[in-house]
Structure 1
């Protein structure tokens, strides 16, 4: 009887710990760290304070997408925060959380204790990966919710002007803001997976913390270069930019789908590589200091992944060159102008006209007509023409354009003064921002069906 009982007790002790229990344990460890608590506090409170403070200032961050509308609607605030988060906040958050998930155990020398408690490297990896993912999702949710709350409380639940000048109702704007933040999760997961891989491969070295941030910085610099559109879409960081296409009518979903797919593929490949390296580790080696020799094969694997992705994107999207051409620029500027002209007419209590009645067109050149009207640059010039019902004269307005390599442009009014010459217009309720003075827009990088 004693032998049987001892055997049962030994079997119970030797039983592997379920992933759920190990996951809860890893969550407790993460939330007990002061830096994670500070990050949670900053993400759930900081954006609201920032958006509210900026919304009460006289000057707005007009160089930031949707920044010029922060006084007009609360839905601009979370989009301004999303632009900042995609460039800086999310890469740093993934570095701190995922980039240190495994390296911390190496520095503390606690792998033997975990192995005795959990008895399965596979379960240990799953628990740590899921715990890191949970914390990152909480941080991203806090950024989105806090920025939205700060914007709504400061500027109200008002319509949002899209990137084509089309006015989006509060409900429509809310849905698109939610979708934009949801789309940003894909590249965030890619950075987090790369962080896990760096933490596993580099061991106790602090370089593991820098891997996601350095990757994000490199991807951000690449997006600023005039690279072919197929290469641009094949980089995982493009999904941090492609959400802009949600704020046009119709939405530009092709680049967004490509960016999300590429990011998820990167997340899957990086996680699989991290898993394979981790489960093959010798936990009995006390002198273990990472699997640095496997960093080169991992780098080669990602180089091959980028090459294959570029070929696939180029074959499926059919987007040659930079994707920025004269016809696309003229179409985007004319469409945005028509929508914003109607908004200005409403401000000034003029008779309402439809886009079809205006029939706005744009003639755009680059470098004073001396350069090929293709590609990004700050030397674009557009002359917009339109007609008003019952008036024979043709209205014209001039805009100077600065087009970035990712297709975003800023149109700066250059006359006439009655249309776009002043920052403010006088309305019945007082001075209000002139929507035609300066506006943001986006050029569809991928080919779009022509309207018949």
Structure 2
């Protein structure tokens, strides 16, 4: 028997020739350990708590201020609780969402380099591929959970504090409360593909730079650069392949005649970024010499 280290002991993994079922079992053990390790970190718990309690505070602040009329849905935040989560979504897309995507993903591999624990976890029964996919799935699932908590808290607080009045659409039409709730929830859901793209980008930087600071900060900086490029005229084709453009895909849901082209493009572009980044990260980890720790 060999083992996967836990810090408080070991998890047994059978050695020897591995069958397909054995490989899946080994990956599941590593995945359970990565989830447990992440759950034990105070940073993870504080992040989830911040996503839960920060939105109501922000909504209260918005309610007591003059509406930012030069921002999409800014002029309506005192008239409908459905406008507030859309305004927050627009602001969060600038740097908050890329940061949330990178906080765990940008550190989850580099942390092993920082503490010199690669040789410890790479036992003869746990392959690099199993560790890679376990860590990747852990980061993805955690980021989805964080985003759901943030979205739910924002929408709930907005409706409780401001109200459930009908929402004006981007074409001037009035959207009834029930329909507005579904559209607002769908709008937040459209941010998931680019968030997962930023998660994959953070994983790539975590693997290749071996530096947690770079893994967390670089995706945010790159997000700013993408937004700057998207604001430059004459770069329509380039703008479509930027991850940050997908954060605006929800606009098409609020017109009189809805259009889904930007959303479809966002899903395709985000999937492309995720596939390329994860493939590069995987092969980088496979080729790396970890004999030093």
Q: Same fold (TM over 0.5)?
A: yes
Structure 2 partner of 1:272: 279
Partner of 1:240: 247
Name which of 38, 41, 48 aligns with 1:33.
41
Q: CA separation in 2, counterparts of 1:256 and 1:221?
A: 20
The answer on whether the counterparts of 1:144 and 1:181 sit within 8 Å (CA) in structure 2 is yes
- Unaligned residue ranges in structure 2 (runs of 5+): 1-11
| Structure 2 Cα separation of the partners of residues 96 and 170 of structure 1 | 35
> 1:41-440 maps to which residues of 2 (within 5 A)?
41-55=49-63, 57-116=64-123, 119-204=126-211, 206-286=213-293
Which secondary structure does the structure 1 equivalent of 2:14 belong to? helix
Does the C-alpha gap of structure 1 residues 60 and 265 become closer, same or farther in structure 2, counting only changes over 3 Å? same
Shift in Å, 1:231: 2.2
Q: Determine helix, strand or coil for the equivalent of 1:225.
A: coil
In structure 2, relative to structure 1, the CA distance for the partners of 1:225 and 1:117 (3 Å cut) is same
Paired residues of 2:110 and 2:211 also in contact (CA < 8 A)? yes
SS of aligned partner of 1:198: helix
CA shift, 1:73, in A, is: 1.5
Contact 1:237/1:263 (<8 A) preserved: no
TM-superposed CA distance for 1:13, in Å, is: 4.7
Map of 2:27 onto structure 1: 19
Following TM superposition, where does structure 1 have runs of at least 4 consecutive aligned residues deviating by more than 4 angstroms? 13-17
**Quick one: distance in 2 between partners of 1:246 and 1:11?**
50
Aligned mates of 1:277, 1:101 — CA distance in 2: 15
User: CA shift at 1:281, angstroms?
Assistant: 2.1
Structure with the higher strand share, 1 or 2? 1
Task: Report 1 or 2 for greater relative contact order, CA contacts < 8 Å, sequence distance ≥ 6.
Answer: 2
Cα 1:118–1:214 change in 2 (3 A) is: farther
What TM-score do the two structures reach when normalised by structure 2? 0.88
Q: Indicate the structure (1 or 2) with the bigger Cα radius of gyration.
A: 1
Return closer, same or farther for 1:223/1:265 CA change in 2, 3 Å cut-off: same
Q: Are the aligned partners of 1:163 and 1:247 in contact in 2 as well (CA < 8 Å)?
A: yes
TM-score computed with the length of structure 1 as normaliser: 0.58
Aligned equivalents of 1:186, 1:146: Cα separation in 2: 20
Displacement of 1:158: 1.9
Q: Which SS does the other structure have where 1:206 is aligned? A: helix
CA RMSD of aligned residues (A): 1.9
Q: What SS does the corresponding residue of 1:165 show, helix, strand or coil?
A: coil
